[in-house]
Structure 1
């Protein structure tokens, strides 16, 4: 996904008070880039000389190349600043008309220069104008970085009172930079008070982000907030990691301490510790780049990766890295000082072996702690099944049962996503955000696959515990039963609907026959009887004619009544029974063009009247259709009684086309067969005849 659509942008960003703000913001960002670039070019030579002099003094008489380390740090700081500018420029280029995007670009550009420019302001001989400009850049970086907590991603203060704390922070930062040493300089306050102030303001910002995430943000903004959280997490932990490493590494700023440390542990080990320190500096600076990268991705490509996994892994491995480095320094430093060991290789091997032994247990324990922190503690499987049973008892319909079952999985296992897909019914239930890292569990009922259960991992690549796997298997069994019940319910609902349609069609036919046929005929007879009475004395011949018409019409009415009665219950079945009635119908309709054959046993077991009617109707209608439309030379009717009553009608006629659809009569028969718990299938092909197969159980369903 390359960016956001216009509709999504409308949802993500709240516009600034006026479009007039956009031009000043773009211009301010451009001026900031020019300012930082100019200051960097002007101060880089002095910065290099400062670093070279600092490390030359620290490495005096040790033999390490101070110029090489100074040049390395110079290039590293320059690369960090330029990468911040590059990402900010990309945001401005892709989102030039979005106020929050432009504010983010300003924050990233200034934030990248805060650390090296702080060194410039403290250690370099800079004129008053240059110093003021350097401190302005530092001020913008510190203020906008904290403001991102209060404003991202929609540019609003939520809740509104956080605007007061954000503005107060902007004023609080002014004295240490522009009025150092004054009463208002909180840098002169006790260290504990400074720490409380920093935690308070950052904590309020973090709470504002959580409050926005839970109560205000939509799906898009929540995904962006996760990326922002990753950047802010790194921005918070990186300095602590850096100063921790400075604490455990050699202290270069104190005169003669590096030489004393080197004399105690040896040159090779001291050189290794120096390299570890510079590696730590590199790691922290590169780690800090996640801050601009995360905000750039949040604005431009917020769906690029699985952010939950990145946050999880960042927490685990950043903590693990700090513990490993600290453990290594502790073992080497403490044992090197306390034990009279002259072999530095022995200390290195000891520290490495201890780390190797503890690494995997530490990683597993940290991973569990982080998982509990992010996803909560999974429930006990027994508790889960008990709660699920109570919920299923309260479910009123099968659909609600399956929805409850799917909803239980994320709650019980603390996974982000669960879904159930029914193969035959093409129905889906899902809870949580769709994830690609899922396991697929087939759902069966009596060895028949009826669906698929999808469950996301808590963290990509992490396996479920054996107890959780057993729980999932139990849930699939319950899901299989529930799916079967749903399928039966759906089939029953369809059959009931079709039966109601057939019954309504039957009522309408009877109404037409009675209203349009018998009703007018009987009314006409009434009129003719009255006319006959009038003509009886005056015109006997006319009366005799009316009586003859009356007789003919009465015969027609009797035939209609017999037809209606026969449609309701064929008279042949009452008079002859099913076998004889079918045999009589075949004999009566056989002709020279189509040979009709009837194959059946001598006797049949006693059959319900409903079964006899359905079989007779299907057989007679199928034969009638064959004689009228199939152009067949032979049609065979067979009846077999086994576990089921099997009726087969085969002909060698023209067959049916592939787009054939059931007519009203055959559709009604299919519904009647389904009502009896049976099946009706038609096999046909153009030029190859038609086969109709009907199977009806001899033990009919109740009701």
Structure 2
């Protein structure tokens, strides 16, 4: 309700000012010369912007400060024509001086206090921490009455149709206070410089959203600066250039309420670029014309202008390209210089270790992106920033294999990335793919280590259980039986003989258990016969009847690591057993070859009427091969079934 009331005051002032100007018969040119048009537009802009922010963000003081600025600016726009209309109507002196006081003292509060405070608190409505910024607020509060006194206490008064009208109060020593008025002007400049410095600091410390908000205001300030340069350089500059100030409240409103409206970086980039180019062209043209006029002939002529135009035309595009690079680097990062972005990624990797989030942070900083994520196997492994509605995905390929994806979010206001962004990401994707592949290998190695440790502990548990539950009781029984036989040896020889017979049977059983445990650890046949002969013996045992089993192997094998030898034996035995039991064929062939690795294959000519169903045995074979860095391929073939294992000879523990 308060926002509606204050906005209604602004609207009433503007309507009253327009009616009074029409009643007084003012022309548009007269309204411009009296600053009524500029105050009208600036007051309207502040009023609308302040109302929208205060209505939707009532706790943000920026909206209320803009509303106050709208009331002050619109007050001058309203009372200036009212003062002239009252003078034409012959109002009394006190009434005219009252109107003149409101006219003179209203707008300085807007420029001196309300707008600087809004800039200092933009965008969230809080000051930066520290006494320094509270002192800046104190300067802005002090500047309001001082600036108003400078404008309103001038004895020259305000011009009207009936002559000048002096506001209250009038300082008779106004001219002697010139140093005070100069101080007010310097304070005004200092407050605005502090506000700009605060905006720069917020930008450097802010996140993506905060920077977007600030860039809207930066765009407005750039336009205001460009438009007001003639006003500062030439005292007779066009008054309507002050209308550019009305862009500042509008930019604040968009920044607070709708900062994702469009890609503000692109707009700001082009605005800054062509503003700088325009200033450079004007300065270069004037300088060249003056130089040519002094060097070539006493007075400038058309030849000087042609020469200056040709020089500017030749140098325009190189300057534009260089300026575009500078501006784009400030707004879009290093997308035009991927080498620089790669160097930044390298620095972040050195400082951040193996954390992929640090690499993503470097990508976002290099290209000014709000979001980046690494995905592998359909799972997000790391990310930086918050996801956006518009995202693009770049594939990460290593040696022809897709190892992951880099998902990046488009900048707010953009529907997607442009060609320059994609080109930079394609270059950055190569080292990222290497990093992702290295991370995957590291994780795989860690999993293998965990599996090895788990398998070792399971094997120890099995051995302990077999020794404790099997061999332990048998040996204990043997010990008791031996004691009992010794006790009965003289008193009851026949009973002692029976105990000795039972003792021999128990010892035989214990020996069988020991052999079984030893065989499970490492088949004794490998040490007694070697790999090939051990497999031949097993094939002979399986090949009694159908199908027949044939072993094809070289006469001798090189010295094999123990782990490879055991794995090859276990895989071959399991494959032969499966083929004999389930293939339904007439022949099974076992082949062993050495060609940089030990290759073991088992082929059968059966059709497997029940179908090829991988089970625990095939899983066990693959696990044994994977432990050594090898592989197992199994499946039906056109002529039967096949199991092929490849075990590397290097890197295996002997």
Aligned residues: 608
Secondary structure of the residue that 1:49 maps to in structure 2?
coil
Matches within 5 A, 1:16-415: 24=2, 26=3, 29-45=6-22, 49-52=26-29, 85-95=47-57, 97-100=58-61, 102-103=63-64, 105-106=66-67, 109-110=70-71, 113=74, 131=100, 134=103, 138-142=107-111, 143-158=113-128, 159-160=130-131, 161-162=134-135, 163-181=137-155, 182=170, 189=178, 195-214=185-204, 220-241=209-230, 247=236, 281=240, 285=243, 287-324=244-281, 356-357=313-314, 359-368=316-325, 370=327, 399=354, 415=367
Task: Label 1:583 to 1:568 Cα distance change in 2 as closer, same or farther (>3 A).
Answer: same
Cross-structure match for 2:629: 677
Cross-structure match for 1:575: 528
CA distance in 2 between counterparts of 1:691 and 1:46 reads 105
Q: Please, which of 646, 658, 661 is the counterpart of residue 599 of structure 2?
A: 646
The question of whether the paired residues in 2 share the 8 Å contact of 1:619 and 1:637 is answered with: no
Secondary structure of the residue that 2:7 maps to in structure 1?
helix
Task: Label 1:44 to 1:239 Cα distance change in 2 as closer, same or farther (>3 A).
Answer: farther
Give yes or no for the alignment of 1:501 onto 2:454: yes
Q: Please, which of 635, 644, 647 is the counterpart of residue 693 of structure 1?
A: 644
Moved more, 232-241 or 449-458: 449-458
The question of whether the paired residues in 1 share the 8 Å contact of 2:49 and 2:63 is answered with: no
CA distance in 1 between counterparts of 2:646 and 2:30 reads 99
Please state how far the C-alpha of 1:242 moved relative to its aligned partner. 5.1
CA distance in 2 between counterparts of 1:618 and 1:454 reads 43
Task: Label 1:320 to 1:649 Cα distance change in 2 as closer, same or farther (>3 A).
Answer: same
Q: TM-score, normalised by structure 1?
A: 0.67
Moved more, 449-458 or 160-169: 449-458
Cross-structure match for 1:7: none
Cross-structure match for 2:162: none
CA distance in 2 between counterparts of 1:39 and 1:596 reads 113
| CA-to-aligned-CA distance 1:493-513 (integer Å, 9 cap, x gap) | 333332222222222221111
Cross-structure match for 1:616: 569
Task: Label 1:92 to 1:407 Cα distance change in 2 as closer, same or farther (>3 A).
Answer: closer
The question of whether the paired residues in 2 share the 8 Å contact of 1:525 and 1:550 is answered with: yes
Secondary structure of the residue that 1:141 maps to in structure 2?
helix
The question of whether the paired residues in 1 share the 8 Å contact of 2:49 and 2:252 is answered with: no
Please state how far the C-alpha of 1:164 moved relative to its aligned partner. 1.7
Give yes or no for the alignment of 1:514 onto 2:467: yes
Matches within 5 A, 1:414-493: 415-416=367-368, 421=374, 486=439, 488-493=441-446
| CA-to-aligned-CA distance 1:45-64 (integer Å, 9 cap, x gap) | 15872335689xx9xxxxxx
The question of whether the paired residues in 2 share the 8 Å contact of 1:636 and 1:649 is answered with: yes
Please state how far the C-alpha of 1:146 moved relative to its aligned partner. 0.7
Task: Label 1:623 to 1:365 Cα distance change in 2 as closer, same or farther (>3 A).
Answer: closer
Secondary structure of the residue that 1:646 maps to in structure 2?
strand
The question of whether the paired residues in 1 share the 8 Å contact of 2:373 and 2:407 is answered with: yes
The question of whether the paired residues in 2 share the 8 Å contact of 1:441 and 1:476 is answered with: yes
CA distance in 2 between counterparts of 1:46 and 1:359 reads 52
Cross-structure match for 1:543: 496
Cross-structure match for 1:606: 558
CA distance in 2 between counterparts of 1:233 and 1:178 reads 30
CA distance in 2 between counterparts of 1:396 and 1:51 reads 65
Task: Label 1:123 to 1:332 Cα distance change in 2 as closer, same or farther (>3 A).
Answer: farther
Moved more, 451-460 or 301-310: 451-460
| CA-to-aligned-CA distance 1:429-465 (integer Å, 9 cap, x gap) | 777999999999987766666677899999997969x
The question of whether the paired residues in 1 share the 8 Å contact of 2:50 and 2:64 is answered with: no
The question of whether the paired residues in 2 share the 8 Å contact of 1:498 and 1:671 is answered with: no
The question of whether the paired residues in 1 share the 8 Å contact of 2:334 and 2:367 is answered with: no
Please state how far the C-alpha of 1:37 moved relative to its aligned partner. 3.6
Task: Label 1:137 to 1:396 Cα distance change in 2 as closer, same or farther (>3 A).
Answer: closer
CA distance in 1 between counterparts of 2:175 and 2:629 reads 86
Cross-structure match for 2:163: none
Cross-structure match for 1:267: none
The question of whether the paired residues in 1 share the 8 Å contact of 2:277 and 2:320 is answered with: yes
Please state how far the C-alpha of 1:201 moved relative to its aligned partner. 1.4
The question of whether the paired residues in 1 share the 8 Å contact of 2:352 and 2:358 is answered with: no
Task: Label 1:446 to 1:99 Cα distance change in 2 as closer, same or farther (>3 A).
Answer: closer
Cross-structure match for 2:158: none
Please state how far the C-alpha of 1:570 moved relative to its aligned partner. 1.0
Cross-structure match for 1:16: none
Task: Label 1:93 to 1:352 Cα distance change in 2 as closer, same or farther (>3 A).
Answer: farther
CA distance in 2 between counterparts of 1:122 and 1:355 reads 51
Please state how far the C-alpha of 1:141 moved relative to its aligned partner. 2.9
CA distance in 2 between counterparts of 1:85 and 1:591 reads 102
The question of whether the paired residues in 1 share the 8 Å contact of 2:14 and 2:74 is answered with: no
Task: Label 1:535 to 1:104 Cα distance change in 2 as closer, same or farther (>3 A).
Answer: farther
Please state how far the C-alpha of 1:677 moved relative to its aligned partner. 3.0
Please state how far the C-alpha of 1:559 moved relative to its aligned partner. 1.2
Q: Which runs of 5+ in 2 are unaligned?
A: 88-95, 156-169
The question of whether the paired residues in 2 share the 8 Å contact of 1:655 and 1:689 is answered with: no
The question of whether the paired residues in 1 share the 8 Å contact of 2:567 and 2:624 is answered with: yes
